[in-house]
A = this chain, B = another copy of it.
Amino acid sequence: MTSSGGSRIKELALEKDDLIDLYRQMALIRAFEEHAEEQYARGRIAGFLHVYIGEEATGVGVVSAMQERDHLITHYRDHGYALARGVTPEAAMAELFGKATGVVHGRGGSMHFSDVTKNFWGGYAIVGGLIPLAAGLALASQYQEQDAVVVCVFGDGATNTGAFHEAANLASVWKLPVIFLVENNLYGMGTAVEYVSAVNDMSRKAIAYDIASARVDGQDVLAVREAAQAALEHCRSGNGPFLLESLTYRFRGHSMADPEAYRSKEEVNRYRKDDPIPLFRNKLLSDGVATQEEFDQIDAEVLKQVEQAVEFAEQSPVPDPSTIADFILADSGAVH
């Protein structure tokens, strides 16, 4: 997975600010996740925590290609997407802390971030379960002629679920504007793709549904952005769904509970060489887009942001117990 994004900077006609912003977002996510891990270790965060470290380029690249009106829906590994889509580190960290100021008021926790004001329809924890929902969101967009594309994010493991099959077929039959973004990080929890998927090439699964597809180097933020733009264009033009496979790697365990017995340190270190953040920083440096000082400053800024987020989360109040029964049903009591 060697990167070739630098050459593309001109083609993509990206302004320096845009490029710097892509870097900043990846750096912010990285810092956020590292602090989340630390706070988890300290017992301030509990339950399941799935961090995005090592995969930032996919989320940032894809979201950077989306329009505001486009919809985003993801699986439980959702922190990076939430931040890229504009959820504040404060609201995100507070959610992990289970506070009232959390992005969903402490109801969902790590796996269920969402912000409909940003068309981010949330993170879901039943593997594959969000894929039919995404097809439905795309149907709503098509039905109401909203010209909005749905980006549905899930992993290699999720492609083995019946939900993927049923939703992909339906999306194709109805030519729904939805991108199935498969983050192929080679493992579903502790199980390597080759042991559980008949094909290692996820894009090949699109053939059975007559769905267009592509593979992209998920460690190269510009390559991802470019591939996402093409996929979005495909869907927006009414050509039906698109399956985009991003080749990436999870640098950390599946969740905080993961002993990682299923893969070797060597393997992890090999893939760490393709860390999307230094890769991109070096590219921008060698292309003279920005200086080391600028990057140091950005790193310092995002670090501060995240520390403030932790501070904010700590200071925030827990949800008011009297609100525990709110939101069970949308229509209170009888419906007239």
Please report A residues at the B interface, Cβ cutoff 8 Å.
160-166, 168-169, 172-173, 195-199, 204-205, 207-211
Residues on B with C-beta less than 8 A from A204 are 207-208
Residues on B with C-beta less than 8 A from A173 are 195-198
Complex CA distance for A208 and B200, rounded to whole angstroms: 10
Which of B162, B210, B211 contacts A166, CB < 8 Å? B162
Closest to A166 in B: B162
Complex CA distance for A198 and B208, rounded to whole angstroms: 7
Most buried by B among A160, A162, A195, A204: A162
Residues on B with C-beta less than 8 A from A166 are 160-162, 165
Which of B164, B195, B199, B211 contacts A198, CB < 8 Å? B211
Residues on B with C-beta less than 8 A from A163 are 162
Q: Chain A interface mostly helix, strand, loop or mixed?
A: helix
Residues on B with C-beta less than 8 A from A165 are 160-162, 164-166
Complex CA distance for A165 and B168, rounded to whole angstroms: 11
Residues on B with C-beta less than 8 A from A210 are 198-199
The answer to whether A199 and B209 touch across the interface, beta carbons within 8 angstroms, is yes
Complex CA distance for A173 and B209, rounded to whole angstroms: 20
Most buried by B among A168, A169, A209: A169
Closest to A168 in B: B198
Complex CA distance for A204 and B169, rounded to whole angstroms: 13
Complex CA distance for A32 and B211, rounded to whole angstroms: 43
19 A-B pairs in the complex with CB atoms less than 8 angstroms apart:
A160-B165, A160-B169, A161-B165, A161-B166, A162-B165, A162-B166, A164-B165, A165-B165, A165-B166, A169-B196, A169-B197, A169-B198, A172-B198, A173-B195, A173-B196, A173-B198, A198-B211, A199-B210, A208-B208
Closest to A165 in B: B165
Which of B162, B172, B207 contacts A208, CB < 8 Å? B207
Closest to A172 in B: B198
Closest to A162 in B: B162
Which of B164, B196, B198 contacts A209, CB < 8 Å? B198
Complex CA distance for A166 and B159, rounded to whole angstroms: 10
Q: What's the minimum C-beta distance from A176 to chain B, rounded to whole angstroms? A: 11
Residues on B with C-beta less than 8 A from A197 are 169, 173
Most buried by B among A163, A198, A205, A211: A198
Residues on B with C-beta less than 8 A from A164 are 165
Residues on B with C-beta less than 8 A from A211 are 198
Q: What's the minimum C-beta distance from A192 to chain B, rounded to whole angstroms? A: 12
Closest to A206 in B: B208
Complex CA distance for A162 and B196, rounded to whole angstroms: 16
Complex CA distance for A161 and B196, rounded to whole angstroms: 19
Complex CA distance for A125 and B195, rounded to whole angstroms: 31
